[in-house]
Amino acid sequence: MRILVLGRTGQVGWELQRALAPLGELVSCGRSSADLTEPASIARTIAEHEPDILVNAAAYTQVDRAEDDADAAMRINTAAVGEMAEAMAARGGWFVHYSTDYVFDGAKADAYKESDATAPLGVYGATKLAGEAAVMAAGGQHLIFRTSWVYAARGQNFVRTMLRLARERNSLRVVADQTGSPTSAELIADVTALALKRISDRGPDEGPIGGLYHLTAAGETTWHGLASRVVAQAEQAGATLSCRTADIEPIGTSDYPTPAKRPVNSRLDTTKLRETFRVNLPDWRHHVDRTVLELVER
Ligand SMILES: NC(=O)c1ccc[n+]([C@@H]2O[C@H](COP(=O)([O-])OP(=O)(O)OC[C@H]3O[C@@H](n4cnc5c(N)ncnc54)[C@H](OP(=O)(O)O)[C@@H]3O)[C@@H](O)[C@H]2O)c1
């Protein structure tokens, strides 16, 4: 089985190279060999590597910048995704793709199910939602995992930013009225591998299990709750910090204005994923604690 991963330098793309390697012959490409702004580059990369499974972890992920850069976000998150999905449908292979909690407006009181109505608040969410539609329209075998609040020991993310700021500053002000589940790139990659293994192990009489799934860690917190956990864990691991958990002030979204609006409720219901693929999704603290330890011990 040949697996091609795009977005190799990203948080999820990096972890996919680890998690998918035991499943088959793995090739990973970055922007220099597969530039999603170029349709010819996508077609050439797929023709060259002839994958049975294409996993796309590349995306335009700068949520605020997308507000003023809609054409680029649309090209990378929508048009390119459609081209990849169509190419894989034509090959009869699988296309695996990632989407976001930002397809929702956050107005629902409970966690969002896959079947809930979407209503993105910004350009990023709108382009990701259109990307989902493009995958489905291509008509091939696919998995789309909507995830949220992604972090890893590498790359740009909230966990690393909080750790850096806690070293540099005496106090922090962090939004405490947005709720979601911090999800590690490791977990996303591991669940992707498990899902693909389950699919390849299925007998010919078993029904199709492709489609759209919500994939996050279990439990929920706020950005303030996450920052507090990061600082507490770092302190416990012996890091030298200027800021303690008591110095992290909870603030409202309105106190921290951003170009793109964020959903107040980012919680995703993962029942469909857990039941279909028989996976356990650990509490969000599990991977946060590991990541903080890894960062502090470097
Ligand atoms: N980060 C989050 O909080 C979050 C939340 C929900 C969903 N997601 C989704 O999860 C997936 C993985 O996100 P992530 O956090 O791993 O992203 P990330 O760390 O920001 O990485 C993005 C990747 O996309 C690549 N890329 C960007 N523009 C490209 C282009 N024109 N051609 C080729 N590659 C390009 C980047 O390459 P360079 O290194 O060359 O720039 C990088 O490898 C994405 O679909 C994202 O929408 C993320």
**Length of the chain in terms of residues written:** 298
Strand partners, 202: none
257 CA distance to ligand 1 centroid (A)?
23
Which three-class secondary structure state does DSSP give residue 249?
strand
Q: What residue owns the CA closest to ligand 1's atom 45? A: 98
| Ligand 1 pocket mutation pick from 12, 17, 61 by most atoms within 8 angstroms of CB | 61
Query: Which of 254, 277, 279, 253 shows the shortest CA–CA distance to 178?
Result: 253
Question: Which parts of the chain fold into alpha helices (H)?
Answer: 11-19, 39-49, 70-74, 80-91, 123-138, 158-168, 185-201, 223-236, 271-277, 284-296
| Ligand 1 pocket mutation pick from 65, 71, 84, 150 by most atoms within 8 angstroms of CB | 150
Q: What single DSSP character describes residue 170?
A: S
Q: What is the pLDDT of residue 298?
A: 77
Whether residue 148 has its Cβ less than 6 Å from ligand 1:
yes
Question: Encoding tokens for residue 154?
Answer: 């590498």
Q: What is the pLDDT of residue 293?
A: 96
Low-confidence ranges of the chain (pLDDT < 70): none
CA distance linking residue 207 with residue 209, whole number of Å: 6
Q: What is the CATH number of domain 2-150+183-218+267-282?
A: 3.40.50.720
Which atom of ligand 1 is nearest the CA belonging to 13? 16
Question: Encoding tokens for residue 166?
Answer: 């806690």
Of the residues 60, 98, 112, 124, only one is catalytic, namely: 124
Taking the alpha carbons at both ends of the chain, their separation in whole angstroms is 36
Question: Encoding tokens for residue 68?
Answer: 């003023």
Which atom of ligand 1 is nearest the CA belonging to 124? 47
CB 264 within 8 A of CB 106: yes
Residues 6+ apart with CB under 8 A from 247: 170, 171, 172
CA distance linking residue 88 with residue 45, whole number of Å: 12
Is 124 catalytic? The answer is yes
Q: What are phi and psi of 130, to 5 degrees?
A: -65, -30
Q: What residue owns the CA closest to ligand 1's atom 7? A: 100
| 169: region left, alpha or beta (phi > 0 left; psi from -120 to 50 alpha) | beta
Which atom of ligand 1 is nearest the CA belonging to 72? 31
CA distance linking residue 13 with residue 251, whole number of Å: 33
Q: What is the pLDDT of residues 201-237, one digit of tens each?
A: 987 778 778 999 999 999 999 999 999 999 999 999 9
60 CA distance to ligand 1 centroid (A)?
6
